Amino acid sequence: MTTKEYFLPQSLDEAVGLLADHGPSLLVIAGGTLAMPLINEGVSMPETVIGLQRAGLNNIKRTNGSLAIGATTTLTRMMADHTIPLLQEAAHHIGGWSIRNMGTVGGNLFAPPPSGDFAVALLALDAQVKLVSNNSQRVLPLTEFYTGFMTTALQPNELVSEIMVPVPKGKTAYLKYGRRHANTPAIVTVAVHLILENRIVKDVRLGLNAVGPYPIRAEAAERVLIGTTFDQEAIAAAAHAAAEECQPFTDSIATEWYRRRMVGVYVRRALTQLAG
């Protein structure tokens, strides 16, 4: 290990101050479940590392109609909060118990596909992220946070401090399909938020993971659904659109061909759950 300094700032101010001082050479970790494997294997050899676990970001606040989730809130802590069951379920589908005790909601945003499933639920819930530096603060919709494979809108001097999630007004569903029942990277992950009025789709958000360079919204499928009667025909058309628009890849978990097929199957199943 070539790391020369490991900082454990005691506040957000101290953390962003360190970021300003050290710039892009600083590696930021929270639970360590993404960075430490690479460091242990010698793939990553960072000189300076900052750990956010003591920076006071591990809390969940309820404010009028939304949850403000501190970036270092663990996935286990998230599972224990009953405000938004979709988030509990998404957290439960990540890793095993020990990993969820360490991995954080903020850190999971940086897990590249086929990991990083928490963001799928956040996309379906129209979440926003708060980005903080030593002299600025801004809020971005999660859809604008991702810019490419393992790249984000985050500036070198910024941290994700908080994730804001409106309490859903409609029905939600979450399905993850992997090679195992649990503790597995995804073949595909689907999250849906749906508002119906007299069986007509008033609003829908469909999040997908493991079928693109980052967690994505299936916008073509959403357009197919909005304004239509929510029946088997509409569900089939949306599933077809999602399978068409996604950009799956081949890895050791599944092929591009198989992932695309499974997007169709799992979008249909998730929507069918909400029709029931």
Contact range with other proteins by CB under 8 A, out of 38-46, 146-154, 161-169, 186-194: 38-46
Phi, psi for residue 157 in degrees, rounded to 5: -95, 10
Q: Min. distance of Cβ 31 from other proteins in angstroms?
A: 8
Asked if residue 147 binds other proteins (CB under 8 A), the reply is: no
Taking the complex as a whole, the smallest distance from the CB of residue 99 to other proteins amounts, in Å, to: 6
Under the binding rule (CB under 8 A), the answer on residue 25 touching other proteins is: no
Residue 20 or 102 with smaller CB distance to other proteins:
102
CB of 143 or CB of 258, closer to other proteins:
258
Residue 85 interacting with other proteins (CB under 8 A): no
Counting contacts by CB under 8 A, is residue 28 touching other proteins? Answer: no
Helices 256-275, 232-245: axis angle to 10 degrees equals 150
**Which window, 95-103, 230-238, 240-248, 266-274, contacts other proteins (CB under 8 A)?**
95-103
| Token pair in block for residue 131 | 């980005």
Non-local CB neighbours of 98 within 8 Å, separated by 6+ positions: none
Question: Should residue 150 be labelled a site residue for other proteins when binding is judged by CB under 8 A?
Answer: no
Instruction: Determine which helix (DSSP H) or strand (DSSP E) holds 177, and give its type and residue range.
Output: strand 171-178
Asked if 44 is part of the footprint of other proteins (rule: CB under 8 A), the reply reads: no
Please check whether residue 218 is in contact with residue 245, taking contact to mean a CB–CB distance below 8 angstroms: yes
Of 27-35, 164-172, 193-201, 263-271, the window that binds other proteins (rule: CB under 8 A) is: 27-35
Spell out the residues 6+ positions from residue 257 whose beta carbon is closer than 8 angstroms to its own. Answer: none
Residue carrying structure tokens 């008033």: 202
- For the record, the structure tokens of 74 come out as 């663990």
Chain-centre distance for alpha carbon 53: 19
Residue 223 CB neighbours (<10 A): 14
Contact 211, 244 (CB under 8 A): no
User: Which of the ranges 159-167, 175-183, 207-215, 262-270 carries the binding residues for other proteins, by CB under 8 A?
Assistant: 175-183
Binding stretches for other proteins (CB under 8 A): 1-6, 8, 31-33, 36-37, 39-42, 45, 49, 51, 53, 76, 95-99, 101-102, 181-183
